[in-house]
Structure formats: structure tokens, C-alpha cells
Amino acid sequence: MVELQINTTQNVNINFTAASVGERILSYIIDLIIKVAYFVGFGYVIFDLLDFNSIYDDLDGWSKNAVIAIFSIPVLFYTLTLESIFDGQTVGKKVMKVKVVKIDGYQASFPDFLMRWSLRSIDMLFIGFVALISIVTSKKSQRLGDMAAGTSVISLKNNVNISHTILEDLEDTYTPTYPSVIKLSDNDARIIKDTFITAKAAKDYTTLIKLRKKIIEVIDIKEVNGNDIEFIDTILKDYNYYTQSM
């Protein structure tokens, strides 16, 4: 089992478990079954139900190849398209609970998926033997496409919960309230979050009051909105909002 340590853009180290060879093979098989089902189903509809056979037989060689090429486009771009749309996952990866991530902590983007997809033909040489050897021998369980794109495939089964880090799950429409939170450091935010979670779970209101007063003093807030829990929760979200934007 290979452990991957990813340093996020907020300088937070998060440990992940690399997807095993078995998980990656099974996800590939699931995706392969979907591709085969597409060929069988689409071929049945076109050639049998719509009786395309007579038209196809009258085509010249180039036209027949063109038909086959067009017919194969969804299969050819299946992995690239789904990984780009579903944030590093295909149907097979979703079922196996694995996904493609950047090992530098940034969000994997279309150029990254394109890079690893473009080397897929090399990785799959000798029925995938090249990819298998690369994954087994590399320190970060990467096939050649992953090495070129700076990505790896991780398991989501033992993923670190976001509550264990200073990260907060923010909506795209989130609007910050306290700009002065940028006076805090990552370590300050981590201490605040750990104390906040512990005190809230224990209903330790005395500690929550002290924590609120300390935050107000450190970042020099003149006006506070909401109760202690709402205020501290907003502070953590605001800190994440501003540090993500820096």
C-alpha cells in the first residue's frame, strides 16, 4: 500500500492512499464493459434495427473507414471526457471509489487529463504490461501518463476528512464577512479549528467565548455578527476564502 502526501495550495499536508493495482484494473474492466456494450448496442440499432447494412456494403473503403472512425469516437474519448467532467473519475473509477488527482496539491485540469490520456496507447502496450510495471515500480504508483501529467490515482475509501484540516467546504457564491482574517496564519487557523470542533462537540461554551474574544483581539474586529459558534465558523470560512484567492 503506497501512501501519497499531497501539499495543498494552503500548505496543508494531506495523506492519501494510492489506488491499488487491483482497484485500477477493476475500474478499467468496468469501463471496458461499458465501451463494449456501446459497440454492441449501437451496432445493433444502426445495422439491425435501421438496416444500415445495405448502405454500408455499397460504400468504398475510405467511406467504410470513416464510418468506423465516427462510430468509435465516443469510445476513443470516453476516458478523457468523463475524467474532465467528473473531476478525475470515469464510471469505473466511481464504482471503485478511486480518482485522478494532482500530486502538487492543485486541482487537476483538462490539460492534465489530456496529457495522461495521450500516453494511454503507450501505457496499454502488451495488454497493459507497460502501465502495470510503471505503477508497481514507481514511488507514487504512477503510469507513464501520470508521470507526464504530474498526477496519480488515489483511493477515496480512506480519504482524509476535510474536518481534519484547516480547509472548509465553500460554495462558489460564498461572500466573506471579516477581511481582517488574513492576519491569521495557517497555524492560527488550525488551532482555532481544532479548539472550535472540540469545544462545540463538548458544548464547552466557556471555551467558545474565550476563543471568540481572542479572535476579535488578534484580528481587531469592531463588530461581530451571530453567536459564538456562528462567528467562529464564519471566521474559518473567511480565512479559507481569502487564502484560496491569494
Confidence of residue 160 (pLDDT cuts 50, 70, 90): very low
Tally of domains within the chain: 2
Does residue 77 have a pLDDT over 70? yes
Look at residue 188 in the predicted model and tell me its pLDDT.
84
Domain boundary at 117, 135, 155, which?
155
Domain boundary at 138, 155, 172, which?
155
Look at residue 162 in the predicted model and tell me its pLDDT.
44
Q: Are strands 151-155 and 98-102 parallel, antiparallel or unpaired?
A: antiparallel
Find residue 6's DSSP bridge partners: 14
Q: Domain containing 223: what range?
A: 163-245
Q: What is the mean pLDDT of residues 64-89?
A: 90
Look at residue 157 in the predicted model and tell me its pLDDT.
79
Contacts 24+ apart (CB under 8 A), 118-123: 118/145, 119/143, 119/144, 119/145, 119/148, 120/79, 120/145
**Is residue 208 domain-shared with residue 237, that is, in the same domain?**
yes
Spatial separation of the C-alpha atoms in residues 236 and 192, rounded to whole Å = 8
**Which pLDDT tens digit goes with each residue over 191-208?**
888 888 888 888 899 999
Average model confidence (pLDDT) across the chain: 84
Look at residue 23 in the predicted model and tell me its pLDDT.
94
Q: Is 238 exposed, middle or buried (0-12, 13-18, 19+ CB in 10 A)?
A: buried
Confidence of residue 241 (pLDDT cuts 50, 70, 90): confident
Stretch among 33-42, 100-109, 196-205 having the lowest mean pLDDT:
100-109
Spatial separation of the C-alpha atoms in residues 37 and 196, rounded to whole Å = 51
**Is residue 120 domain-shared with residue 210, that is, in the same domain?**
no
Question: Quick check: 246 and 192 in contact, CB under 8 A?
Answer: no
Spatial separation of the C-alpha atoms in residues 213 and 91, rounded to whole Å = 49
Confidence of residue 113 (pLDDT cuts 50, 70, 90): very high
Does residue 110 have a pLDDT over 60? yes
DSSP states of 69-131: HHHHHHHHTHHHHHHHHTTS--HHHHHHTEEEEETTSSPP-HHHHHHHHHTHHHHTHHHHHHH
Does residue 173 have a pLDDT over 90? no
Domain boundary at 99, 129, 155, which?
155
DSSP states of 147-187: HHHTEEEEESTTPPPGGGSS-----TT---S-GGGGGS-HH
Look at residue 161 in the predicted model and tell me its pLDDT.
45
Q: What is the mean pLDDT of residues 219-235?
A: 89
**Which pLDDT tens digit goes with each residue over 4-16?**
666 555 455 566 7
Q: What is the mean pLDDT of residues 217-221?
A: 89
Residues 6+ positions from 223 with CB-CB distance below 8 Å:
none
**Is residue 132 domain-shared with residue 36, that is, in the same domain?**
yes
Alpha carbon distances (Å) from 235 to 14, 69, 81, 88: 22, 55, 38, 31
Question: Quick check: 13 and 5 in contact, CB under 8 A?
Answer: yes
Look at residue 189 in the predicted model and tell me its pLDDT.
85
Spatial separation of the C-alpha atoms in residues 207 and 192, rounded to whole Å = 11
Look at residue 25 in the predicted model and tell me its pLDDT.
95
**Is residue 194 domain-shared with residue 111, that is, in the same domain?**
no
Please give the distance of CA 105 from its chain centroid, rounded to a whole number.
Answer: 10
**Is residue 176 domain-shared with residue 115, that is, in the same domain?**
no
Lookup: cell for 3: 501512501
Q: Which residue has the cell 467558545?
A: 208
